[in-house]
Amino acid sequence: MAVSFTCTTCSTLSREALFELDRDIDVHTASLAHSRERAVAGVAHGPIQLGQEVTWRAWHFGVPLRMTSRITQMDAPHRFVDEQVKGPFASFRHVHDFDSSAGVTTMTDHVEFTAPCGLVGRIVEKLVLARYLRRLIETRNRHLVGTTRA
């Protein structure tokens, strides 16, 4: 059974600027430097596009992990979706939505994932992984809205 959560972040950056930053591999890497996350295959720098893949290597829970994601949907500058094609999850889907009104851009992250390993995985995904992933996305989003280069 999949676990899902939503994070909402507001910014004074334009929808277009925030959309570009959210797809930028270099910005992503900088935002998660604490986990030593870096692109090791596929798109390694700049904004990722529809149909393109990136393979990430990072340290989480003291373990080196690799995950390959593909951009499966894109409606610039309103939405894009990345999905795991290879990696530690049984499934992982991240929808990035952008809305703008009265000078404020709202970025909404919808994450749905399923951990591997049957019943043990289900317990871990609810008690540990969902909270951990939410914090990662919140950290990343704080970095995004504080970035002014776009």
Spell out the domains of the chain, with CATH numbers in brackets.
Answer: 3-145 (3.30.530.20)
**pLDDT beyond 70 at 97:** yes
Query: 68: how many CB neighbours lie within 10 A of its CB?
Result: 16
pTM: 0.91
What does 100-147 look like in DSSP terms, one character per residue? EETTEEEEEEEEEEE-SSHHHHHHHIIIIIHHHHHHHHHHHHHHHHT-
pLDDT digits (tens, 9 = 90+) for 28-73: 999 988 888 999 999 999 999 999 999 999 988 888 999 999 999 9
Question: Which secondary structure element, helix H or strand E, spans residue 15, and what is its range?
Answer: helix 15-23
**How far is it, in rounded angstroms, from Cα 78 to Cα 135?**
23
C-alpha triplet 64, 61, 66: angle, nearest 5°:
30
Tokens of 19: 């959309």
